[in-house]
Structure 1
């Protein structure tokens, strides 16, 4: 695994790269589902110190989606790592708030680095649609569909699962999300449904469809690869980087429970912690939440972005042919 990298400039503009990526691969229903599972929803019941280097290496190029997740490539164009952003924010009063993005399945080393880093904050506000007490309880009953799907993705990719690796028992961890009933009630009150989201995703996919047959060709390459697991990792990593910004398009003008309503809850808890005198706080949420959270920190909290740091989450190096 490579060390984390940090940008000391405000925000690096990758919008042209992201837009080219979205034109190349339209957001299919399967891609949307995987993006939600891996970047937005590590719920149970839903329906550190690492070395840092200035990110100026001319030998790498990054495919990005909204500056929250990217694939770093070598000189030969081959993917090397999937990286997830940490957005560092500061206020005029000296308060520091870090938006720590997460991909919900990753290398064990990635979660170990996160555990070390998260232990350094006064408070860590974490996402979990469900009862956080259930994290320490033995599993009972039938696992949720989302849990089963995420577990299947973990096994298929040869990675570890966030809820198994992150130490949620740490005393500085504070639940900052909806519970399962609140999530369902919000979707009902806003006349939202998973079916509605899928239809909107299909419409976006038709409007932004890339080269006909491209997705099928990519899947065929995975099936024919000598290292199918690595080939699948690379394919999915590229799709995640391409589609990270599509989630906001799915929310519509009024936002969505999945992103904006849950973000509002997280920032409500953040406001409470800052009012209580906390000076160094992390908001630990899926990377798909970060663009909206960043805007709200700037608009509602008067903060400015100080730096962007990247943590390697998936190892993509090697030969899959």
Structure 2
């Protein structure tokens, strides 16, 4: 029986594909690989996994995983008195994960119909439109896209790009283009190599801090001690539970990345989204949704409150992953090859 007491780089790669670059990878845009090596997180820990306010894993009374949930939080324009304006402007931040249950995306599609305009993330060229069903001709070999598709099949989940209807006229892209991202890197003197090295240094610092907390490290490995990596990949329910715990702990990963990479992936892209928000407000839109990865939302909330003078209102939670059941994996050829490769490495 294999015992895992070290970081799971493949798990980190899966999380990267599910939480950050999948929208870019689908369009074949150049991306920067995330270098993560966090200790695996137990699924037998808190009732609601900290620290994110926009992404959480809920637990049952016997500490069994129930669901990975994303938040929908409302913000309202204020009167001079500080009270919300009656019939005034409302902006909802809607957390996203890029693969999930079919029921999750069906609920989001219904929710989006309630808005005058729905802003969404997508790093792509200006004018890019996601076709219904998210299908397009292959743009050649794309390892990140292949990894995401393999993860979707192994977990028995659905793709956001295939399930969300982006063809509705009130859905508006609010993100950077690949060229804009490249220009931002150039302005700061960054390259893919410098960003990778900076990220690696951040990961090493996090691991050094984690090593000083032996009780937390022991708890983090307890749920994985009796299962090998290849066995976990062949067990979609276990895989969902382990990935959900790491998602909830890391805030969809982007919060775990400091420095220049966080600036590029979160802060710069949020600034682009807020510019589109300003245009929509100027156009008279009053009911606006912003559909973005959960890791973007704390920074967006900060700007809505401090720069737009809004106040936080109600919050609801949507079930992105049901952690009590899982479909049998439908292994595509890439997924089968990946699983066989990992079995050979054990």
**TM-score of the superposed pair, with normalisation by structure 2:** 0.73
Cα distance between partner residues in 1 of 2:225 and 2:174: 38
Could you say which structure has the larger radius of gyration? 2
2:75 and 2:91 in contact (8 A); partners too: yes
Pair 1:181-2:188 in alignment: no
Structure 1 segments unaligned to the other structure (5+ residues): 1-24, 48-59
Match for 2:277 among 261, 270, 275?
270
> Are the structure 2 counterparts of residues 255 and 228 from structure 1 closer, same or farther at C-alpha, using a change threshold of 3 Å?
closer
Structure 2 segments unaligned to the other structure (5+ residues): 32-45, 79-84, 328-346
> Are the structure 2 counterparts of residues 285 and 234 from structure 1 closer, same or farther at C-alpha, using a change threshold of 3 Å?
same
Cα distance between partner residues in 2 of 1:319 and 1:37: 20
Corresponding residue for residue 205 of structure 1? 207
Describe the SS at the equivalent of 1:211: helix
Q: Which moved more, 1:180-189 or 1:280-289?
A: 180-189
Cα distance between partner residues in 1 of 2:168 and 2:8: 38
Cα distance between partner residues in 2 of 1:164 and 1:173: 15
Describe the SS at the equivalent of 1:242: helix
Map 1:21-32; keep pairs closer than 5 Å: none
Describe the SS at the equivalent of 1:304: strand
**Deviation sequence 1:286-305 (CA, Å, 0-9, x none):** 11111111111111111111
Match for 2:143 among 142, 145, 148?
145
Q: What stretches of structure 1 move > 3 A for 4+ residues in a row?
A: 25-36, 212-217, 222-227
Pair 1:91-2:81 in alignment: no
Corresponding residue for residue 218 of structure 1? 224
**Deviation sequence 1:245-283 (CA, Å, 0-9, x none):** 763352338951100000000001001100111000011
Cα distance between partner residues in 1 of 2:223 and 2:59: 21
Pair 1:38-2:18 in alignment: yes
Corresponding residue for residue 162 of structure 2? 164
Q: CA RMSD in A?
A: 3.0
> Are the structure 2 counterparts of residues 203 and 95 from structure 1 closer, same or farther at C-alpha, using a change threshold of 3 Å?
same
Q: Which moved more, 1:68-77 or 1:244-253?
A: 244-253
Corresponding residue for residue 39 of structure 2? none
Cα distance between partner residues in 1 of 2:248 and 2:164: 23
Instruction: State how many pairs are aligned.
Output: 284
Pair 1:287-2:285 in alignment: no
Cα distance between partner residues in 2 of 1:86 and 1:72: 16
Cα distance between partner residues in 1 of 2:321 and 2:136: 29
Pair 1:229-2:236 in alignment: yes
> Are the structure 2 counterparts of residues 242 and 30 from structure 1 closer, same or farther at C-alpha, using a change threshold of 3 Å?
farther
Cα distance between partner residues in 1 of 2:48 and 2:271: 30
Deviation at 1:145, TM superposition (A): 2.9
Cα distance between partner residues in 2 of 1:104 and 1:171: 21
> Are the structure 2 counterparts of residues 69 and 236 from structure 1 closer, same or farther at C-alpha, using a change threshold of 3 Å?
same
